[in-house]
Amino acid sequence: MEFNRNRYFLIGMLLLLLGLQFRMVHSVVLNETSTKALSKITKNTQFASQDLSTNLYMSTAPSPKATITTPRWLGYIMLTAGGIIFLHAMVLPPAPKG
């Protein structure tokens, strides 16, 4: 797969938009289903257990929800990388026709 001007432009724009998104959103609260899936993946047995007592407790108690907080520098890194790749796409010659 050949990287031409259009692909660099697309990657730069996506990184710029993701960087803006990460700069505007500071944390994300997952719902109960996503929290259970995340705990199974990370092998956290606090919420991943499927025995009867855990299911009974989960049905009566408030559902635990995981909060994901993104680091502040992540948005800056994505904005910077997206801007550099976007400017690089502007300098490249247009894609050949054919």
In a structure prediction context, what are the per-residue pLDDT tens digits for the chain, which is 98 residues long?
Answer: 777 888 999 999 999 999 999 999 988 888 878 877 877 887 765 554 555 655 555 555 556 677 889 898 999 999 999 999 999 999 988 777 76
| pLDDT in the model for residue 48 | 47
| pLDDT in the model for residue 66 | 78
- Do 34 and 64 contact (CB within 8 A), yes or no? no
Residues 81, 87, 90: CA angle, nearest 5 degrees: 145
| pLDDT in the model for residue 35 | 79
pTM, two decimals, is 0.65
For residues 6 and 44, what is the distance between their CA atoms, to the nearest angstrom? Answer: 43
